[in-house]
Amino acid sequence: MTRAAVSSGFTLEPQTAGRTLEFAAFGFPLGGAFVVGWPAAPGAVRYEADDQPALLHFAPARWLVPQPHPDIEALLQAAVDAGAGIVVDVEGKWQPLLLRGPGAKRVLATAVDIESALHERACAALTLFDCPSIVAACAGGYSLWVRASYAADFIAAVERLGA
- At 140 the three-state DSSP class reads coil
Q: Given the complex with another protein, which of 51 and 116 has the nearer CB atom?
A: 116
Q: Taking CB under 8 A as the rule, which mask of x and - marks residues 90-129 in contact with another protein?
A: xxxxx-----------x--xxxxxxxxx-xxx--xxxx-x
Told to check if 159 binds another protein by CB under 8 A, we report no
Residue 95 DSSP label: E
Told to check if 88 binds another protein by CB under 8 A, we report yes
Picking from 61, 56, 59, the residue whose alpha carbon sits closest to that of residue 96 is 56
Neighbours of 90 (CB within 10 A): 16
Distance, CA of 94 to CA of 15 (rounded, Å): 10
Picking from 118, 149, 130, the residue whose alpha carbon sits closest to that of residue 56 is 118
Q: Given the complex with another protein, which of 74 and 156 has the nearer CB atom?
A: 156
Q: Given the complex with another protein, which of 49 and 83 has the nearer CB atom?
A: 83
In whole angstroms, how close is the CB of 156 to another protein at the nearest point?
7
Told to check if 34 binds another protein by CB under 8 A, we report no
